[in-house]
Amino acid sequence: MSTVVETHDHGHHGPAKGLTRWLFTTNHKDIGTLYLWFSCLMLFIGGSMAMVIRAELFQPGLQIVQPEFFNQMTTNHGLIMVFGVIMPAFVGLANWMIPMQIGAPDMALPRLNNLSFWLLPMAFGILLSTLFMPEGGPNFGWTFYAPLSTTYAPSTVNFFIFSVHIMGISSILGSINIITTIFNMRAPGMTLMKMPLFVWSWLITAYLLIAVMPVLAGVVTMMLMDINFGTSFFNAGGGGDPVLFQHVFWFFGHPEVYIMILPAFGIASHIIETFSRKPIFGYTSMVYAMSSIAILSFVVWAHHMFTVGMPLAGELFFMYSTMLIAIPTGVKVFNWIATMYKGSISFETPMLFAIAFVALFTIGGFSGLMLAIVPADFQYHDTYFVVAHFHYVLVPGSLFGIIAGVYYWLPKWTGNMYDETLGQLHFWLTFVSVNLTFFPMHFVGLAGMPRRYPDYALQFADFNMIISVGSFLFGISQLLLVFIVIKSIRAGKKAKPEVWEGSGKLGLEWTLESPAPYHTFTVQPEVK
């Protein structure tokens, strides 16, 4: 027995060399890196689509693209940002950090981990290839409402359906892996209520994913049947119901919204406690708040459909249940502020992004509360007010959470500090441009500009110009992030194991060397 262990020890000290390291890797850090770079690539692809949209909307009239291509851009921008950027980035962070935060050597199911990553490039390869087909890619919005996405869709919709299936499988496999890891591989002494909040946020997220990805798979399968096999799930002409599509889609879609924000809550909690040099306030209520948000997310879906024609009782039910979500969300914001209160606060780049996250996500929360009010929603629905709302929660919300996490843990990954001056510059450029882009959208929306319009009436022209200028600045600023990350990988001030002052007592990841060794915690640490 002992000889076997010895040969094993001599075999694996570091990663394999060359391309096969990345193709066949089962190491959580390598897979985390793959996820993060994939998400970064997708950010720029989805981002350039947004640039096309904003360039077209810079002025009224059709200048750069035709409406047909414009619709393909809005659709693919949404799909890529949701499924190709935010979700994979969080999975990448989970892969890197969950084993290190719970004191495990790796993920529980390393080969499954490899598979769930490599499914993604295939899914997005298929999706993006449709843009080069004669009929063009999906053009029915990222919410792909039937019958526009069935009877009236280009035939490339079949590629889209296949791609969504693959994404779904990838997410489900990833979630199974995360849940198994968290339940089986925690260090001795780490009870559930001692888990770091990022781990908690991902545990809840993983359950949400397992609950709703099959629903998404179901709805696209029903589309596939309607398109190719003569069923009429969503075709009124055959006795079906187009509104059924929306119910099923949003039963997936609303939990999906929280899938995209909960891990950011976890990240923000760690960063705020680190840079306030004070333990997170109300740990228990943070856990309960996240769980309540997750549970409530299953009973609010129809607030996306207030104008679809529901009974009065339905409208009121979904209004009340949606308003309830403001309570746990508010509690989280109050807890973060109470953590800052009487702290000793410094303002490194991760903290700046985390503060901006709290402030701007809250603004997104306010507009969310306004949208929940049914009668008012009759005026807001499907206008730029909604676009402003979900971009506020997804860009300065989820994306800032991801960027903050990257800055926060980057020294632990690379062993080098990032360039703080450039980081601060990146933050301020991003902060200014994100507001310049998305804040005026509230006003054009209230003034009556519907979303998904390639061309608009003259009274919206001034604001659209400002929005476009802001978005170009935002897009360019993100190149700086890539530069900072690459610079830190190549060189930089050496990071200590405890990268941030006093972080050593905040989590197991800070007890490791910087950079963290290829295999960590081969002997499990004890948590007291």
Catalytic residues: 77, 106, 142, 170-171, 254, 256, 258, 269, 303-304, 329, 332, 451
Assess 498 for contact with another protein (CB under 8 A): no
Q: Which residues contact 41 (CB under 8 A, 6 or more apart)?
A: none
| Structural tokens at position 209 | 């994913």
Assess 300 for contact with another protein (CB under 8 A): no
Distance between CA 394 and CA 391 in Å, rounded? Answer: 5
Binding residue count for another protein, defined by CB under 8 A? 101
Interface residue with another protein among 110, 382, 435, 489 (CB under 8 A) is 382
Rule CB under 8 A: which of 236-295 touch another protein?
A: 236-237, 240-243, 276-285
Rule CB under 8 A: which of 328-357 touch another protein?
A: 330-331, 333-334, 337-338, 340-347, 355
Distance between CA 130 and CA 157 in Å, rounded? Answer: 9
Rule CB under 8 A: which of 202-241 touch another protein?
A: 236-237, 240-241
Interface residue with another protein among 23, 327, 476, 491 (CB under 8 A) is 327
Assess 379 for contact with another protein (CB under 8 A): yes
Rule CB under 8 A: which of 408-437 touch another protein?
A: none
The minimum distance between CB 71 and another protein, in angstroms, equals 7
| Structural tokens at position 344 | 């000793």
Interface residue with another protein among 14, 61, 125, 517 (CB under 8 A) is 61
Distance between CA 233 and CA 281 in Å, rounded? Answer: 49
SS3 sequence of 62-124: CCCCCHHHHHHHHHHHHHHHHHHHHHHHHHHHHHHHHHHHHCCCCCCCHHHHHHHHHHHHHHH
- CA 371 from chain center: how many Å? 21
User: Which CB, 3 or 284, lies closer to another protein?
Assistant: 284
User: Which CB, 448 or 497, lies closer to another protein?
Assistant: 448
Distance between CA 5 and CA 224 in Å, rounded? Answer: 52
Interface residue with another protein among 160, 408, 456, 500 (CB under 8 A) is 456
* Long-range Cβ pairs for the range 279-284 (8 Å, 24+): 279/339, 279/506, 280/197, 280/335, 280/339, 281/335, 281/336, 281/338, 281/339, 281/341, 282/331, 282/335, 282/338, 283/193, 283/197, 284/193
Rule CB under 8 A: which of 134-153 touch another protein?
A: 134-136, 139-141, 145, 147-148, 151-152
The minimum distance between CB 505 and another protein, in angstroms, equals 12
Contact at 8 Å (CB) between 122 and 51?
no
Interface residue with another protein among 9, 420, 462, 513 (CB under 8 A) is 462
Assess 491 for contact with another protein (CB under 8 A): no
Assess 308 for contact with another protein (CB under 8 A): yes
